[in-house]
Amino acid sequence: MIGRDFAELKDKTGKEFGRYVLANASEGEFGFTGYYLPKPGGSEEFYKEDYFTKIGDLTCGAGYYSTKTE
List pLDDT tens digits, range 40-64. Answer: 888 889 999 999 999 999 999 999 9
**Buried (b) or exposed (e) across 11-23, using 16+ Cβ within 10 A?**
beeeeebbebbee
Strand extents, DSSP E, 1-70: 31-38, 45-55, 58-65
6-15, 35-44, 47-56: segment of lowest average pLDDT: 35-44
Tell me the fold of 6-65: Beta-Lactamase (3.30.450)
Domain ranges of the chain: 6-65
The residue with greater pLDDT, 67 or 48, is: 48
